[in-house]
Structure 1
Amino acid sequence: MRRRGFLALAGLVGTGLLGVTGLTGCGAGAGGNTGTLTFTNPLRIPPVLDPKPGPDGVKRFPLHLRAGRAELLPGKTASTWGVNGDHLGPTLRARRGDRIAMGVVNQLDEATTLHWHGVRLPAVMDGGPHQMIAPGATWNPEWTVDQPAATCWYHPHPHGLTSRHVYRGLVGMFILDDDQAPNLPNTYGVDDVPLIVQDKKFRPDGELDEAFGGTFGLLGDDILINGTYNPFFEVTTTKVRFRVLNGSNAHVYSIGFADNRTFHVIGSDAGLLNAPAPVRRFRISPGERFEIVVDFTPGEQVVLRGYAGDSDVEEGDYDLLKLTAATTLKPSPDLPATLSGVPPIAPGAKVRKFTLGGTNINGKEMDMARIDEVVPAGAREVWEVDNITFSHNFHVHEVAFTVLDIDGEAPPEHLRGPKDTVFVEGKTKVRLAVEFGHHADPTTPYMYHCHILKHEDKGMMGQFVIVEPGTEDRTPRTLSAKGHHH
């Protein structure tokens, strides 16, 4: 075990936050799965929902949240939740300039929400904890897509219950396209492949174990990709673009290949990098997305893996997906040297400081009625995120940001692209250049929070409103009771 991870873990045991019983092997519960898979199940590719615009020019997405049963482990079924199906949801697709309307029908027996993670839109459409959907009710947010091409996703966001609702399966990808996209692999499910990575714990009968104990909540040893256990994917082209989403509750993965090959990161949460970044590994924490392009030769086989890292949520080595190349491969175009002409987000003058405690931010736990920050529309600011405890990450709704530095050092090349979620190791400080949108609404907040879902549920979240420039000082810092949910 790496010294740094050991010291962090030793510190947790010392604080009593982690019972000694939680230590298996070299970590807080999760021990890896390498060598246990046979890769016998074809990778499930989520269906695409990309409706044609109606006579009014609006693309309408019917989304039904429902309970079901899914065969997650072979020959056994589990009680699950899904969107338009028993487990997980369809991949939504829209283009910049599209007018889109969601019809989210809650067919569950409890209230929830659906948040469009990474999508830039008015706060009242965001699907955070203030936009609860009662059982039997329908929520109809509508907006115009106005952001560069990006791999986003959607998931529930009910205050205090997000970890459970995500874990049960209310998760799907949301791919945004635009006309500026360079020549990249783009045939969905063939050479442009979504990979939703989630860890699970199973009971002997195949049902999901919902034991969310420990410092980080649920850390499971069985990994599903797009809901598929023990998966393989047949490669038919010389290059494949994988859109990797960490949809886990807490697990952080350092992803690479068993043969340690070099591949290229081409995009992060909020869009494409300026140029492809060669890597052998990339670390991905809950809520983050990375787009990668990998080269293949005919007939080869290689395993995509998650490697143990030096943070306290990266224990164990995991086999994720076996890739088997066909004996003849269709040639793919070369990777463009330039992917995006959009410059990195420049820092503004105003600095806001956020200290990440155990399950609080700036010493305060989430209060649905309290506005923590007021930001003028269109602002660019510097947010300093100082983690004084064990591992966290930090997600800001609505925005895109650039990582300026990590403990004073420039981030690696693949972390210099546009993002909305960043991993912040224990005892680490990250500075972000944050770009805010133009949807002013002093009465409806956006969230910023740790995306380790147990921490979020326990109150590691704050709220900000975007207001017309010049009105910051007269914006109320408390919300009225309307639309409240406790």
Structure 2
Amino acid sequence: MNRRTFLKSTGAGLLVAGSGMAWAQSAPRPLPLIPLTDLTGGIEGRISLALNKASHDFGTGAQSETFGINHDYLGPVLRVKQGQTLPFDVVNNIGETSTLHWHGLHIPGDVDGGPHQEIAHGATWSPDVPIVQHASMNWFHSHMHGRTARQTYSGLAGVLLVEDDASLSADLPKTYGVDDFTLILQDKMFDGSGKMTYALTAEVFEDGFEGDTLTVNGAIAPVAQSVPTGLVRLRILNACNARFLELSMQSGPITVIASDGGFLAAPVEAASILMSPGERYEVLVDMSTVDSNELTVNMDGGGSFFASLFGGNAATTVLTLTRRAEAGFDGAMPRRLANLAPPKASEASVTRSFQLEMDVGADLAALAASWDNFCGDAGAMAINGQPMKMDRIDEVVRKGNTEIWRVSVDDQLHPFHIHGCSFRILSQNGAAPPAYAAGWKDMVHVEEGWSEVLVRFDYEAPKDAPYMYHCHILEHEDCGMMGQFTVG
């Protein structure tokens, strides 16, 4: 079947925008369900995660070269329980060195999967990862120094859902693929034949990679899912390299029940929520009184592809939910979710300041021309005047101390991530965080003024396995906007 016949028969289309070419579906296709591995009932033997080279059709009719974890693109959804220890065997078959970082987990540095835990091609990394935290949505992705952006973009990412006794007994939707769905949102770039592309330019180094086509679970948006009558739960990950996504519902407010590190004190209704790269939110949609509802996305900042694609309207549909006649989850919208006391800045004994710096004199155009889709020696950007160096420890933290970390930038909007912990946001861009971001987090963003978080580290990270702090625009991280710290 040639490309024109494929487009005519499937509804996949190539739209020529002012800045290039973007793919879209003329009608929603079914939501792909990421395969679930449910380990909450017990673990038998070691858990194999194979990093593989593969190919994947995003909906263009062409096979793109990808990486996957046990699959041709992305990894599984792992559902685990607090108190378990996860015996992983991570096998690297992608033809180059990689790592696998457990983003959001409260774990010691030697099993964190950061850039010091490299896995050579053909080798196996076998960490025993303890699950100590409360219910939360976490994820895992490549953290190979200098190559995190390309490897994660190519598909080395998956979701890890932590449950606990309270979440398993809570009156909330939890039947996977029926009333409980995991959504991995990404932006992609495709060439005229429909194959995924990734290339670094001076502009990409500066802004981070921004694709012109939105995908959901590896399929070009929009997608659709029929659901029974009642509440529906969406667990959402922004796995873009650099794009901020502003999410809302077509009908009614968006109701947030959890952020990166777990449940909020109570549901929060908002007109929209802003998700930085790496952030996660869980939302509830009431499908008891409407026949359909849509999750929509706006691109934050200068993203122009939606305006080009959809006739000047900056919003597009991510997911359409349609109601079936059968009864589903019949519980009411919860009033309370978790005991969540306000953060107390007075408990902090140390304050640290971090300035994220774009302009350290590197010629980004020359850098892009010199290296093959990675950032070379990672010396183009910095934090506190220091580009990331694998053999330098930037901060030394005492285990159990409560600290305030203050983050500022010299240019642009940046998401900031700290390994090995969850924290509470005291201020974001110099103001109180929105109510939906007032719970446990491991991501904060900053553009103007300071963002401040209250954080404590309860697990050790030695010199040979330090934690990272970094901008979560992956190209910035690769280019040196990252530091490392020990806890002891």
Q: TM (normalized to structure 1)?
A: 0.85
* 315, 320, 323: which one aligns with 2:321: 323
Matches within 5 A, 1:86-485: 86-181=72-167, 182-213=170-201, 214=203, 215-230=206-221, 231-259=223-251, 261-297=252-288, 300-309=291-300, 311-312=301-302, 316=306, 317=314, 318-347=316-345, 348-358=348-358, 359-425=381-447, 427-439=448-460, 441-467=462-488
Matches within 5 A, 1:37-52: 37-51=25-39
Q: Is the 8 A contact 1:236 1:326 kept in 2?
A: yes
Distance in 2 (CA, whole Å) between partners of 1:210 and 1:440 is 34
Deviation at 1:299, TM superposition (A): 6.2
CA, structure 1 residues 58+92, in 2 after alignment: closer, same or farther (shift >3 Å)? Answer: same
Distance in 1 (CA, whole Å) between partners of 2:25 and 2:44 is 45
Distance in 1 (CA, whole Å) between partners of 2:246 and 2:70 is 32
Distance in 2 (CA, whole Å) between partners of 1:177 and 1:458 is 35
Deviation at 1:336, TM superposition (A): 2.3
Distance in 1 (CA, whole Å) between partners of 2:303 and 2:479 is 18
Deviation at 1:444, TM superposition (A): 1.9
The amino acid that maps onto 1:204 is G
Deviation at 1:303, TM superposition (A): 2.5
Deviation at 1:451, TM superposition (A): 0.5
Deviation at 1:407, TM superposition (A): 4.0
Distance in 1 (CA, whole Å) between partners of 2:271 and 2:239 is 22
Question: Which stretch shows the higher mean deviation, 183-192 or 325-334?
Answer: 325-334
Aligned residue for 2:199, secondary structure, equals coil
Q: Is the 8 A contact 1:232 1:322 kept in 2?
A: yes
Q: Is the 8 A contact 2:182 2:234 kept in 1?
A: yes
The amino acid that maps onto 1:321 is L
Question: Which stretch shows the higher mean deviation, 221-230 or 444-453?
Answer: 221-230
- In structure 2, the residue matched to 1:14 is none
Distance in 1 (CA, whole Å) between partners of 2:385 and 2:253 is 42
Aligned residue for 2:58, secondary structure, equals coil
CA, structure 1 residues 30+331, in 2 after alignment: closer, same or farther (shift >3 Å)? Answer: farther
Aligned residue for 2:150, secondary structure, equals helix
CA, structure 1 residues 126+307, in 2 after alignment: closer, same or farther (shift >3 Å)? Answer: same
Distance in 1 (CA, whole Å) between partners of 2:434 and 2:250 is 22
Question: Which stretch shows the higher mean deviation, 249-258 or 345-354?
Answer: 345-354
Distance in 2 (CA, whole Å) between partners of 1:422 and 1:299 is 34
Q: Is the 8 A contact 1:198 1:223 kept in 2?
A: yes
Q: TM (normalized to structure 2)?
A: 0.84
Q: Is the 8 A contact 2:179 2:328 kept in 1?
A: no
Aligned residue for 1:180, secondary structure, equals helix
Q: Is the 8 A contact 1:313 1:391 kept in 2?
A: no
Q: Percent identity?
A: 38
- In structure 2, the residue matched to 1:4 is none
Deviation at 1:398, TM superposition (A): 0.5
CA deviation digits over 1:79-105, x for unaligned, max 9? 111011111111111100012111000
Aligned pair count reads 434
Distance in 2 (CA, whole Å) between partners of 1:51 and 1:452 is 31
Aligned residue for 1:164, secondary structure, equals helix
Distance in 2 (CA, whole Å) between partners of 1:111 and 1:452 is 21
CA, structure 1 residues 185+167, in 2 after alignment: closer, same or farther (shift >3 Å)? Answer: same
Deviation at 1:459, TM superposition (A): 0.5
Aligned residue for 2:458, secondary structure, equals coil
CA deviation digits over 1:172-206, x for unaligned, max 9? 11000001223211111211110000010001222
Distance in 1 (CA, whole Å) between partners of 2:304 and 2:183 is 19
Q: Is the 8 A contact 2:243 2:299 kept in 1?
A: no
Q: Is the 8 A contact 2:296 2:318 kept in 1?
A: yes
CA, structure 1 residues 128+344, in 2 after alignment: closer, same or farther (shift >3 Å)? Answer: farther
Distance in 2 (CA, whole Å) between partners of 1:237 and 1:53 is 28
Q: Is the 8 A contact 2:111 2:127 kept in 1?
A: yes
CA, structure 1 residues 411+53, in 2 after alignment: closer, same or farther (shift >3 Å)? Answer: closer
CA deviation digits over 1:362-414, x for unaligned, max 9? 11110001101111112211011112211111000011111101244221111
- In structure 2, the residue matched to 1:482 is none
**Which residues of structure 2 form unaligned runs of 5+?**
1-16, 307-313, 359-380
Deviation at 1:436, TM superposition (A): 1.2
CA deviation digits over 1:346-373, x for unaligned, max 9? 3312100011111321111100011011
Aligned residue for 1:278, secondary structure, equals strand
Deviation at 1:320, TM superposition (A): 1.4
CA deviation digits over 1:110-161, x for unaligned, max 9? 0100001001111011111111100000000003210010000010000110
The amino acid that maps onto 1:270 is G
Q: Is the 8 A contact 2:134 2:164 kept in 1?
A: yes
